[in-house]
A = this chain, B = another copy of it.
Amino acid sequence: MRIEALCTGDELLTGVTTDTNSTWFQERLLQHGEQVARTTVVGDVREEILEALRALSARADVVLVSGGLGPTADDLTAEVAAEAAGARLVLHPAALEALETRFAVRGLTVTENNIKQVMVPEGAEVVLNPAGSAPMFVLRLGKAVLYFVPGVPREYRALVETAVLPRIDALRAERGETGFRALRLLKTVFLPESHLDARVRPLLPTHPHVTFGFRTHFPENHLKLMAEGRTEGEAREALEAADAAARPLLGDHLFGVDHQTMAGVVGQQLLARGETLALAESCTGGRIGDMLTESPGASAYFLGSAVSYADHLKETWVGVAHATLVASGAVSEAVAREMARGARAAAGSTWALSVTGIAGPDGGSAEKPVGTVFIGLDGPDGAEVRAHRFHGDREQVRAASAYAALDWLRLRTRGRHR
């Protein structure tokens, strides 16, 4: 089965938007045993879209078309799809009703250009959009089935997941397509990509049905395992074998799999132990608290963070002694220790992490260059501080600091040290 993707939108050709939908779709599709053969990106230009629709549907079995279903004048996809199919655009009553309800809930009025979003080529199958105004529609053109979805990532993902992938599964079944893939992402932190590669390279000859891929999300590095088999069981078995062989090579750098996040893993460990966490953040500015509270239910283990960017708030909120600030400076082992102790005392938490450092680009000195970061951890066994020297720009120093703090607690709450 040949599957192609057509992404439309000037923003994808003018440096405005990086196409992250495609990466996500490719990954999901692999999990369903198929692979994208080609991706074509065109602008909001009638002739380009029309030519691409015709060329793709002449050679592919399935085409996922995204973008250009918005309310504005440059949203041309439905119109061009109708032209390619030799159909006229008709209003879809159920989609209009859903749109009106959606807008009413938000106290908005439906404008003339919103109506455009519920016009679809006559005869197309329509799937309502759970996350937006424009519905998905399905057309047959030549031998190809074309799925049209909005380009807004939240809507794109919702519709691909609930309506496109199940239809592709059904097509595979109809065509008697076998061949399955199973995927896993092993997520590591503070392990450079070249080291990760060197560690797993010896596995390649002994796992011929598994592809080893790498991707970087600073300071995370991911090992992607993609196993193939004639049955789902065979693919899964090959995956588990590679997974079992790879894990010992990654050691404590491995913090999670697939959709797990560093903060989510720390949160789940705290939850399982019935423990709580407070923070005192300086150079991370609230980022660690933000990461922790992305998970629903974080209030069960996360109590709060004193973001004491100004020195006097280190005194007021977490009781750092004025004398310590004067004697050692805000970026010091002593202040990190008092911040962690003070946050734990104020919150009455099991654990407290503190971070104080120089994120740059200014503020560095010969003695304490940009990237100097002290991280404190106070807990039932007392307080400890670690000194770090991170490399990179302001964003990288801040990200590395947040991860180093959470990672320390992750290893500690597994009862392990490194």
Contact = CB atoms under 8 A, between A and B. Distances in A.
Interface string A287-305: 1111011101111001111
Contacts of A329: none
Contacts of A303: 309-310, 313
A150 to B, nearest CB: 10
Contact of A293 (B70, B212, B286): B286
A206 interface: no
Contacts of A111: 194-195, 198
B310 A307 contact: no
A10 interface: yes
A152 interface: yes
Interface string A1-43: 0000000001111111111101111111110000111111111
Nearest to A181: B14
A197 interface: yes
Nearest to A217: B17
B41 A27 contact: no
A400 to B, nearest CB: 12
Q: Which of A19, A183, A395 is the most central at the interface, judged by chain B CB atoms within 10 Å of its CB?
A: A19
A54 interface: no
Contact of A214 (B40, B70, B204, B288): B70
A222 B18 CA distance: 14
Contacts of A40: 38-41
B192 A74 contact: no
B307 A305 contact: yes
A35 B294 CA distance: 38
A114 interface: yes
A328 interface: no
Interface in A56-79: 70-74
A207 interface: no
B42 A41 contact: no
Contact of A317 (B22, B302, B317, B395): B317
Contacts of A248: none
A177 interface: no
Contact of A204 (B29, B73, B285, B313): B73
A322 interface: no
A216 interface: yes
B73 A197 contact: yes
B39 A41 contact: yes
B105 A215 contact: no
B306 A307 contact: yes
Contacts of A208: none
A44 B224 CA distance: 14
A167 interface: no
A391 interface: yes
15 contacts: A13-B35, A13-B39, A15-B26, A16-B215, A17-B23, A17-B215, A37-B45, A39-B40, A74-B214, A278-B313, A281-B289, A285-B302, A286-B307, A287-B290, A296-B361
Considering the complex of A and B, which 4 residue pairs feature the smallest CB-CB distances, nearest first? A15-B27, A285-B293, A286-B289, A286-B286
